[in-house]
Amino acid sequence: MRDDAHCQQLLHRICEYMDGELDTGTCAELEAHLAECSDCRSLLDSLRKTVSLYRRCVPDDLPPDVRARLLAALNLPPPDAQ
């Protein structure tokens, strides 16, 4: 049975998971949840694809305000801060 509250709790940490910043216990808990929850696996897959698409685009070709909003929406630092 799906527990939406548990999904929400774990998905608040999904960016940290993708960046390898979670402690071992939290990472294991999230991975166990992903193994059981197809909705969360789909969300993670979508996020990974979004980040991959972003990294393949050329943000310098975007107007500066659009690029800044895109980076903020994706919770990514500006390229010069990496």
Is 69's pLDDT higher than 90? Answer: no
Confidence of residue 72 (pLDDT cuts 50, 70, 90): confident
Q: Is-contact 69 46, C-beta < 8 A? A: no
Contacts of 27 (CB under 8 A, 6+ apart): 17
Nearest CA to 78 out of 52, 47, 49, 65 is that of 65
CA distance 17 to 10: 10
Q: What is the pLDDT of residue 76?
A: 73
Is 7's pLDDT higher than 70? Answer: yes
Q: What is the pLDDT of residue 32?
A: 92
